[in-house]
Structure 1
């Protein structure tokens, strides 16, 4: 398994080498141009780890956005040196699947890779729920050029939501408010298994793949907003 890494920090680089599985080989680059060239080559990388230092943080976030858009099938995981929900929203919205501490532990990293392998987003449960709750207001402050596509939903997206039943509409709304499956079950007086069944149907009808994507779609829909 090959992992392409961007790290300008020696301590972070050495830590990554200690916590990855023994069957993984890490390839280090120290600039986004080098990462771009590596991804453009015929080499196949299972993951791309990107360390985001404090210096030029916002610009580097945009560089990751550009890379993810250019290589949409590449699994990218960022390791920011500072907590920023706005940056996380920006990255997740374009397809980045994971955000972790630069000094993540071995077992936690295994869990992260397992989650992103399934196509889900990793950011920690509490973080993701908080991000869902705040995504609408955060997104409004970060509208830039083609990012407007994320916020100003097209007629096609509205049609996706229109295809939901009243009960599915309600589940989607509760998800956008940051409720867990258990909380939704209690609110609607149904089982968690039923909630999961509703979510499976909702994801299929709206062409979303996870709770965050659904929340972003729902929060910007006049049909489902409060």
Structure 2
């Protein structure tokens, strides 16, 4: 009750509700092995990579459930990526991978996982999941924009009393720098209110960052009115 009263007084109760909304999403509780790869972040788009990636993620999820152990105890996320990239088909090749625990290939899991990979490689085109590729418009000044957004983020985070990494990540800033309509949490909900809307205004030249002593201030940019044509 005390926290609720404080949140209401500061006008941030909606922020908490926005954060809790994701907990009501049924997809968050989907533990179907076939969908395990969707919770991860594949780094490549080739059918061969994606086919092995999905197969290994499914194998790990099923194995973790059968043994009632955390997924990371079976295999780390980095190992799934490396296995998909290298696609080892025998124990010698698997033992060379850095992210796979030593001796894993010779354990009871090794033969199962190798067979899973070989099966995925039989017809990668057919078994690879389809991932929609989204291309953002290229902005040649994106690097400079990201640096400005970092300063704005720090200023807004200090004003809100919230850790900047909870509002936006570097990846979020890179997406915003490239695309005003980027599909990123920083441009939605309370994050847009705290930072995202101003990030877009900064890009449009409507806001400026001013150094006031040792503190950065965000100020409105006043544009001169356009002259009215005579006649």
What's the TM-score, normalizing by structure 1? 0.22
Query: Counting strand residues as a fraction of each chain, which structure ranks higher?
Result: 1
Question: Which is greater in Rg?
Answer: 2
